[in-house]
Amino acid sequence: MKVVIVGAGIAGLCTAAGLSSLGAEVTLLERSAEVRGGGSGLSLFGNGLRALESLGLRAAVPDAVGVSLTVNGTRRADGRWLTRFDPSAIEQLRVVRRGDLHEALLGRLGSGVEIRTGTAVREVRDGSVRLEDGTSIDSCDLVVGADGLRSRVRPAVADDPGVAYRGYVAWRAVTARPVHLDAAGETMGRGQRFGIAPLPDGHVYWFASVTYGQSGEPGGIDEVRQRFSGWHAPIGEILDATDPTDVGVLPIEELARPLSTFVRGRRVLVGDAAHAMTPNLGQGANQAMEDAATLAALLGQGGAGVDEALRTYDRLRRRRTRRIARQASVIGRVGQWRSGPAVRLRELALRAAPDAALDRRLRRIQDWQPPVR
């Protein structure tokens, strides 16, 4: 099988590894001059780890040595707890540097994967990919769009709804030195949130989200300090331990509406190209890994053939990712409430909600198994 994968992010690398393990001849196209991971950190939950294991990539994620926090949940800006997760609900959680994971995945690609960098796609059709330089790759058995939120492949698969800004921006970084933590999780204020997640080496991955009009221009870490300086410890220490040059800020966007299909002919979408969602459940990368594992498992079953495998992939993945994307979007909207009465209502609702119910929701999201090859 001759496969072309557009995009060498986490979704593309996982898909390339999975399909090459089936004996496919894989060409991986990356428009940047080099294949490298960007961003700061990301969370991998039990479902993502099982997807990596199915793909033979579990060794790319180290065990969480040194991370032994017993308190994780949601707080107010003054530090008062609103919710707490049972440790068993997040026992499989691994927080990693995105760049480290990307490099590890890249290093585990087999010899059956050809990587072409500096290669942008102009048009995709069944069986061929036309490149910006005027050349094309023909006689493809499968074309996979793994090229992210602003996918060039997506219009060849479904009506492209475009992207929608959800009204807030997020700063993200990993501290330049270790910071001692007694607890982790998310703190909510009025139109502002701050998240804390420990890395195995004692460094801390953090994010800060702030409601912002589209005409606004977010600043750097000085703005984060100004907005969050009065919040509970150790937020100030975390910001002081961060190199300003490591801080990135991006608008929070998602697909304007769910796609009607992830598959058209022998073209298929994975990762953000298929279901870009807001980061409020930490499931973006995990769902991309599930996509890759599902696609590889179904294609590896044989019997029914490629077309039937793609139809099954579409049915399984659209149903699950649509539900998770919807939940993430709602959590983001509620988390960014700004008015005093709305914030008080949110706090009352969180305190009234049994922690066990929140634990069940988190376990349910992680309750996924790849199809049997």
Q: What is the DSSP string of 347-364?
A: HHHHHHS-HHHHHHHHHH
Please tell me the number of Cα atoms within 13 Å of 330 on its side-chain side.
Answer: 7
Distant-in-sequence, close-in-space partners of 27: CB < 8 Å, separation ≥ 6: 2, 3, 4, 5, 113, 114, 116, 137
Identify the pLDDT of residue 126: 86
* Position 64 confidence tier, pLDDT thresholds 50, 70, 90: low
Q: What is the mean pLDDT of residues 166-181?
A: 97
* Position 352 confidence tier, pLDDT thresholds 50, 70, 90: very high
- Token look-up 């939950």 returns 45
Q: Which two tokens stand for residue 25?
A: 């001849």
Of the listed ranges 160-169, 211-220, 353-362, the one predicted with least confidence: 211-220
* Position 329 confidence tier, pLDDT thresholds 50, 70, 90: very high
Q: Using a cut of 0.95, tell me whether the model's pTM lies above it.
A: yes
What is the average pLDDT score of the chain? 95
Type and span of the H or E element at 139: none
Q: Are strands 113-117 and 204-211 parallel, antiparallel or unpaired?
A: unpaired
- At residue 216, does pLDDT exceed 90? no
Distance CA 27, CA 6 (A): 8
- At residue 137, does pLDDT exceed 60? yes
Domain layout of the chain by residue ranges: 2-164+253-366
Distance CA 249, CA 360 (A): 32
Identify the pLDDT of residue 63: 78
Residue 372 backbone dihedrals phi, psi, to 5 degrees: -75, 130
40 near 97, Cβ under 8 Å?
Answer: yes
Does domain 2-164+253-366 fall under CATH 1.10.3720.10? My reply is no
* Position 68 confidence tier, pLDDT thresholds 50, 70, 90: low
Q: What is the mean pLDDT of residues 66-85?
A: 88
Residue burial 326-346, b: 16+ Cβ < 10 Å; e: rest: ebbbeebebbbbeeeeebeeb
Question: How many CB atoms lie under 10 A from the CB of residue 153?
Answer: 27
- At residue 66, does pLDDT exceed 60? no
Q: Which residue has the higher pLDDT, 62 or 179?
A: 179
Distance CA 7, CA 282 (A): 21
Per residue in 28-60, pLDDT (tens digit) is 999 999 998 888 999 999 999 999 999 999 999
Residue burial 248-265, b: 16+ Cβ < 10 Å; e: rest: ebeebbbbeebbeebbbe
Report CA-CA distances (Å) from 276 to 126, 155, 206, 226, 254: 23, 15, 21, 31, 5
> What is the C-alpha R_g of the chain?
21
Nearest alpha-carbon partner for 101 in 59, 142, 132 = 59
Identify the pLDDT of residue 221: 97
Q: Which two tokens stand for residue 187?
A: 């703190």
Identify the pLDDT of residue 349: 97
281 near 324, Cβ under 8 Å?
Answer: yes
Per residue in 265-315, pLDDT (tens digit) is 999 999 999 999 999 999 999 999 999 999 999 999 976 799 999 999 999
Q: What is the mean pLDDT of residues 185-198?
A: 97
Percent of the chain with pLDDT over 70: 98
Report CA-CA distances (Å) from 318 to 20, 103, 322: 24, 29, 6
Q: What is the mean pLDDT of residues 51-80?
A: 87
Q: Which two tokens stand for residue 311?
A: 């139809």
- At residue 65, does pLDDT exceed 60? no
Nearest alpha-carbon partner for 268 in 55, 1, 34 = 1
- Token look-up 């990587």 returns 115
- At residue 134, does pLDDT exceed 90? yes
- At residue 332, does pLDDT exceed 60? yes
* Position 335 confidence tier, pLDDT thresholds 50, 70, 90: very high
3-state secondary structure of 266: coil
Identify the pLDDT of residue 267: 98
Distance CA 63, CA 93 (A): 10
Distant-in-sequence, close-in-space partners of 345: CB < 8 Å, separation ≥ 6: none
3-state secondary structure of 194: strand
Q: What is the mean pLDDT of residues 222-243?
A: 97
What's the residue count for the chain? 373
Burial class (CB in 10 A: 0-12, 13-18, 19+), 372: exposed
User: Looking at residue 340, what DSSP letter applies?
Assistant: H
